[in-house]
Amino acid sequence: MNTTIADIHPRMRTGIFFTPTAEGDGVLLANGSEIVTFHGASTYAWLEKLSPHLDGRHSVADLTASLPPGPRRMVEKLVGALYEAGLVRDVSQDEPHSLTPGELERYASEIAFIEAFRTSPGLRFQRYRRTPAVLIGSGAVFTAAVEAALLTGIGRLSVRPTAVPETGVVEQPERTEVPPCDTAPLDGSDPAALRAAVEGAELVLYAADRTDPDVLRSLDRLCARLGRTFVAVTVDGDEAWIGPVCCPERAAARWESLWLRLGTGADAVPGGTAFLTGPVPGILANHLVFRAFEHLTGVAEAPEGPGGNAVRLDLETLQTSVHTLAPHPSADRAADSGARRPAAEAAPVEAGELAERLAPLTDERLGVLGPVSEGHFEQFPLRVVRVAVNEPGAPTVVWGAGPDFAHARDAALRLGLASYAVRGGGAGAGTATGISLADGATVPVPVDEVFAPSPGPSAGLPAGTAGAVSWTEAVEQGLLSHVLSFTPAEPAAGTTGALPFEELQLSETAGRFLDLLRASGEEVTARAVPAPADVHVIAFRLGTGETGPAERGAGFTQAEAVEAGLGRLLLAWQSRASGQAEYSPCATVSLRTSFGPVTAAGGGPGAPGREPRHGALVAALHARGHAAVAVPLDHDPAVRAVLPHLVRVVLRDV
């Protein structure tokens, strides 16, 4: 270690402060919010003498050349500890740069900022300064962005004002300190002019008081095709969005995804805002330039999600927040070139894995789903969570319930993804490719028979829609939802169908549900409901007469039907007893009871490699005049990568 430490050229990082400990037996070093303590009575004195020389100009060997062996070892040990703690860095490892002494002096603060996060700060800043950039836009935010770009060191800047949306007026930036470059007005409606402006730059910035979606959409698509980095300010009502950083390394990060996720009309030009005054345009401009600075210098950590992220700024309060952007399937991005693996061949996606996979697509504003929330809802005897689905139009809320949080979360996430997938595939002309459940043949299905429009926040899923651990389970759930849709709620009058519980197949979970229901003091009854071949439907009621809650369960085994029905009945009781009707069992509420085997024999519904059990049901449906076709809900590549087992089972006329 001594040899390594002796060779380094230590430089203390910017912003490091140190002070002796209160007991005088060491030194405290503060690096932002992080505090490091070094013990030793003489440590502070040594660091106080040594710190002025930790500027990177000398190696440790040079600094200790004239010291006796004891002090030399002390200095090497102290510098080694500082190095290991990340408080000093070895500048001898920096890559060379060609910045002039004047540039180093003028932009010392920018370089120091980079140094706090990365090595080779001079070279990184040089990359930023030498990158050809074009700034396009209009208004006060545009003028402020010109100034911010120049002050932070962009040395090759082209300034191209466009016409203000609606007025058609082109405003030149007030600042005259623009380096010699093209400052001619730019016709945003001229594709050739836009292309010429983008082709001459590697960084494309857009800033305007009023967002012009046509210009932004054109710039976004041009930059994607030409491999340019693109960052924009988007003013939408009384809020503004900065980003995402669209670059060749993240092809799925697109401005158009932001626009579509915001839900603004495809071609609408947002009106003005009363809050874009005073320092606000400058704040927006600084955010824009800083995002470009972070990206080009490598200071920013790469976003976890494929779509990048965007910074939201409330123009009234100036509060900021960072949001994960989920790629939108309707954005004009590179074609989904990879061959689609059939959903039936995709590996199962278990509960814990699904939550982890879905994290990069989760955001309350720009995600496919919002965060999972327990809110103020009753959590006994069943755990209950809610999830907002960011569907076209008004967001939909779905619910998940289960014996514990993991079950409830899994139920809500799968239902939410299914709801999103069945709403976002389009409607009208065109066909989707389905798979006949009778013979496996591919079948074209009109999209308006597969996808449902978003009719409102309380609308349920259309029958046949499911998301599950495996493709087989998803198909089975879709078929069972159809069975429940056309079987009676209870046996017909005059029939018995009563089922003694001692004769029913009760799984461990179902037994626990039954005990909890009986603890309410009400009687629980079960009756068989007529169902197609190889399917069990059982109706349960709590209490006597017709006033108590009643629910049904369906399954390919009696145990599955009992567990599903008792779970829904328990949830119905909990909803009524707590006065929380929001999660009363319906099409927007999913109950997840078991991840593993439902019965002792064989694998559970999601077990990989399990043979489908729906053959007899499909045949029975065919006899009734319905051909069962499973259509993968795979139009969104980002969602498909998270959960390929999303399906709409459609019953078509034979």
CATH code (residue 236): 3.40.50.720
CA count, 13 A, side-chain hemisphere, 256? 21
Identify whether 163 is part of a domain: yes
233: left (phi over 0), alpha (psi -120 to 50) or beta: beta
Most confident among 38-42, 78-82, 99-103 (mean pLDDT): 99-103
Task: Supply the mean pLDDT for the chain.
Answer: 88
Identify whether 262 is part of a domain: yes
Most confident among 271-280, 335-344, 545-554, 566-575 (mean pLDDT): 566-575
pLDDT value, residue 492? 63
Taking 90 as the threshold, does the pLDDT of residue 425 lie above it? Answer: no
Residue 654's identity, in one-letter code, is: V
H helix or E strand, kind and range, residue 294: helix 280-297
Q: Which of the residue ranges 82-91, 174-183, 220-229, 501-510 would you say has the lowest mean pLDDT?
A: 174-183
How does residue 340 score in pLDDT terms, banded at 50, 70 and 90?
low
- The H-assigned helical ranges of 455-597 are 471-486, 508-518, 558-578
Tell me: do 186 and 304 sit in the same domain.
yes
Taking 90 as the threshold, does the pLDDT of residue 265 lie above it? Answer: no
Tell me: do 42 and 167 sit in the same domain.
no
How does residue 598 score in pLDDT terms, banded at 50, 70 and 90?
very low
pLDDT value, residue 454? 59
pLDDT value, residue 345? 85
Nearest Cα residue to 222 out of 241, 240, 239, 206: 206
d(CA 381, CA 185): 67
Tell me: do 137 and 238 sit in the same domain.
yes
Tell me: do 34 and 158 sit in the same domain.
no
Point out the domain boundary residue: 579, 611, 637. 579
Six token digits for residue 637: 């590549």
Tell me: do 44 and 142 sit in the same domain.
no
> How far apart, in Å, are the Cα atoms of 96 and each of 8, 118, 342, 400?
16, 14, 51, 56
- CATH code at position 573: 3.30.160.20
Identify whether 409 is part of a domain: no
Helix 351-358 × helix 405-423 angle, to 10° = 60
Residues 391-400, mean pLDDT to the nearest whole number: 81
Tell me: do 7 and 72 sit in the same domain.
yes
Tell me: do 160 and 270 sit in the same domain.
yes
pLDDT value, residue 529? 93
d(CA 390, CA 326): 11
Tell me: do 175 and 318 sit in the same domain.
yes
Point out the domain boundary residue: 579, 614, 632. 579
Residues 176-195, mean pLDDT to the nearest whole number: 78
**Residue with tokens 């082209």, as numbered in its chain:** 158
Write the DSSP assignment of 454-486 as a string of letters.
---TT--PPTTEEE-SSHHHHHHHHHHHHHHHH
In contact, 225 and 209? CB cutoff 8 Å: no
In contact, 450 and 432? CB cutoff 8 Å: yes
d(CA 538, CA 531): 9
pLDDT value, residue 488? 82
Identify whether 84 is part of a domain: yes
H helix or E strand, kind and range, residue 20: strand 16-20
Taking 70 as the threshold, does the pLDDT of residue 604 lie above it? Answer: no
Point out the domain boundary residue: 262, 292, 324. 324
With b for 16 or more beta-carbon neighbours within 10 A and e for fewer, the 265-289 pattern comes to eeeeebeebebbeeebbbbbbbbbb
CA count, 13 A, side-chain hemisphere, 117? 13
User: Using the 8-state DSSP alphabet, how is residue 576 labeled?
Assistant: H
Range of the domain at 160: 131-324
Q: CA triplet 448, 432, 327: central angle to 5 degrees?
A: 90
Residues 633-651, mean pLDDT to the nearest whole number: 95
d(CA 173, CA 205): 15
Identify whether 138 is part of a domain: yes
Strands 133-138, 157-161: pairing is: parallel
Q: CA triplet 272, 276, 279: central angle to 5 degrees?
A: 170
d(CA 487, CA 613): 19
pLDDT value, residue 596? 42
Phi, psi of 183 (to 5 degrees): -115, 15
Taking 80 as the threshold, does the pLDDT of residue 434 lie above it? Answer: yes
pLDDT value, residue 253? 95
Taking 80 as the threshold, does the pLDDT of residue 251 lie above it? Answer: yes
H helix or E strand, kind and range, residue 62: helix 60-63
Domains in the chain, number? 3
pLDDT digit string, tens, across residues 11-50: 998 889 999 998 888 999 998 778 999 999 899 999 999 9
Taking 50 as the threshold, does the pLDDT of residue 359 lie above it? Answer: yes
Tell me: do 84 and 146 sit in the same domain.
no
Cis upstream peptide for 244 (omega within 30°): yes
- CATH code at position 16: 3.90.930.70
In contact, 311 and 291? CB cutoff 8 Å: yes
Residues 123-142, mean pLDDT to the nearest whole number: 97
Identify whether 420 is part of a domain: no
Please provide the size of the chain in residues. Answer: 654
Tell me: do 15 and 88 sit in the same domain.
yes
d(CA 473, CA 344): 10
Tell me: do 74 and 213 sit in the same domain.
no
pLDDT digit string, tens, across residues 458-508: 557 899 999 999 999 999 999 999 999 988 877 765 566 789 999 999 999
Tell me: do 170 and 85 sit in the same domain.
no
Identify whether 175 is part of a domain: yes
Q: CA triplet 32, 83, 62: central angle to 5 degrees?
A: 125
Identify whether 585 is part of a domain: no
Helix 280-297 × helix 121-130 angle, to 10° = 120
Strands 203-208, 229-236: pairing is: parallel
Residues 121-138, mean pLDDT to the nearest whole number: 97
Nearest Cα residue to 268 out of 328, 217, 194, 232: 217
With b for 16 or more beta-carbon neighbours within 10 A and e for fewer, the 137-158 pattern comes to bbbbbbbbbbbbbbebbbbbbb
